[in-house]
Structure 1
Amino acid sequence: MSFAGDEEIYAQDEETDMVYQVQSGAVRASRLLSDGRRQIAGFYYPGDFFGLETGPVHRSSAEALGATRILVTKRSALKHYGEAGERLERLIWRATGGELERAHEHMMLLARKSAVEKLAGFLSQIAGRQAGPCSELPMGRQDIADHLGLSIETVSRMFTQLQADGVIALDGCRRFRVLAPHRLAHLALA
């Protein structure tokens, strides 16, 4: 299936029996809190599975960040695919374990790190997933802020600080280069 930027893939509290895998583009999973605030649960990139729920409904919604292609498979139909279905089921279990690990890392990031350490960790993850000297940010500053539990102003100040400290170089608002990988890694692991 193809989705345009900001187009909903599925809604929070919608029933689920589907498994999703990003083929191209990027996806944002977000949860609307009872007080109207939005929490970004995660970002998904090509090859990532998402929408892996243990219950009957989605705990968050998912939207495309730009032009995105998604492979959608009905989970209940996997048993009809024989050995191929079993392989896919194993991949889904592995992806579920990875999702649990990412959730744990995100919880630790939100609980104990300073604003600059949170942003450094986030940028380090993005740079680690992309090849080449420049990394693309498919999401905007507000998405990053909602993901890191910061205000958009703080995120902007931390980008400026990392650039002024010579850790990163910004090439526009959605591209960056890591100039000091060891310093970025040190901040990310602090």
Structure 2
Amino acid sequence: MQIVMNAPAARHFDAAVLSRAAVAQGRRPAGVGSVRTLDKDEELFAEGDPAVSFYRVTQGVVRTSKLLSDGRRQIDAFHFPGDVFGVEAGAEHRFSAEAASAATVIAYRRRDLDDLLFDETFSREVLGAMMHALERAQRHMLLLGRKSAIEKIATFLVDMAERLAGADAVELPMSRLDIADHLGLTIETVSRSLTELERKGVIDVPASRRTIVLRDKAALARLNG
């Protein structure tokens, strides 16, 4: 059994890559980035804050969310190592970002993005990360609108296993409340759905309740659709 605690940084780019474009153009390297370490539940930026930077996760998990008009929270996405987030078309952040676990991110100044995009490698890495994020967002919209609670949980577990290198067991860094707010469910429904999947022999939920053992991936895939 393979248990993976952290997602691999499959899309890696570092300060040296980011600075090559500026050097080639005779400019001072602009995009080396600054490291920010976050405690669990610490806020990185709030909805409506000026979007002066965008970010890449290097350790842990960051969640992005929005407060609805009735006070409920909708978690848009969970960002794992290698993921890029906070890239905005407008001047303000449309979502808030907090650490779902202890996390480390690199912040890149938005004003330097034009310089950085002269670097072909950097451009390809950022575009790839954004396309993956768009694909996940589209799947999430389908999940919220068309699936039952059990199907939502199955889809979530399949997605987590894929992002954690196809593990047979996944250690979820986020809370049950985070999962509920991501899937548009109550925390009680999340717990009931996990219990039902365990009763059917599809998963095991050990006493720690952080690790989910995927006993029957084929059954999860069928529920995922």
Normalised TM-score (structure 1)? 0.93
Gaps of 5+ in 2: 1-35
The amino acid of 1:119's aligned partner reads I
SS in 1 for 2:155: helix
1:67 alignment counterpart: 102
Distance 2:96 2:131 in 1: 20
Residue 126 of structure 1, aligned match among 160, 176, 181:
160
Q: Which residue of 1 aligns with 2:71?
A: 36
Structure 2 residue corresponding to 1:12, chosen from 42, 47, 68: 47
Amino acid at match of 1:12: E
**Conserved in 2, the CA contact under 8 Å of 1:78 and 1:89?**
no
**After the TM superposition, which segments of 4 or more aligned residues of structure 1 sit over 3 Å from their partners?**
78-84
| Equivalent residue for 2:127, pick from 81, 93, 107 | 93
Separation in 1, partners of 2:114, 2:46: 26
Describe the superposition over 1:56-87 as per-residue Cα deviations: whole angstroms up to 9, x where unpaired: 11111000112111011112213445754x43
Counterpart Cα distance in 2 of 1:82 and 1:53: 15
**SS of aligned partner of 1:77:** helix
Matched, 1:141 2:176: yes
From the CA coordinates, give the structure whose radius of gyration is larger. 2
Q: CA deviation at 1:16?
A: 0.5
CA distance, structure 2, for counterparts of residue 97 and residue 54 of structure 1? 15
Q: 1:133 to 1:104 in 2, by over 3 A?
A: closer
Q: Does 1:180 align with 2:225?
A: no
Percent pairwise identity: 46
Describe the superposition over 1:91-128 as per-residue Cα deviations: whole angstroms up to 9, x where unpaired. Answer: 22232222222111111111111100000000111111
Partner of 1:167: 202
> Aligned equivalents of 2:99 and 2:50: distance in 1?
19
Question: In 1, are the aligned partners of 2:54 and 2:107 still within 8 Å (CA)?
Answer: yes
Is contact 2:116-2:123 (8 Å) kept? no
In the superposition, the TM-score normalised over structure 2's length comes to: 0.79
Counterpart code for 1:99: A
Gaps of 5+ in 1: none
Matching residue within 35, 52, 58 for 2:93: 58
Change (3 A) 1:81 1:52: closer
DSSP-derived class of the 1:139 partner:
coil
In the other structure, the counterpart of 2:32 is: none
In the aligned structure 1, how far is the partner of 2:169 from the partner of 2:141?
A: 27
Q: Which has the higher contact order (CA 8 A, sep 6+)?
A: 2
Q: Measure the CA separation in 1 of the matches of 2:55 and 2:144.
A: 26
Number of aligned residues? 188
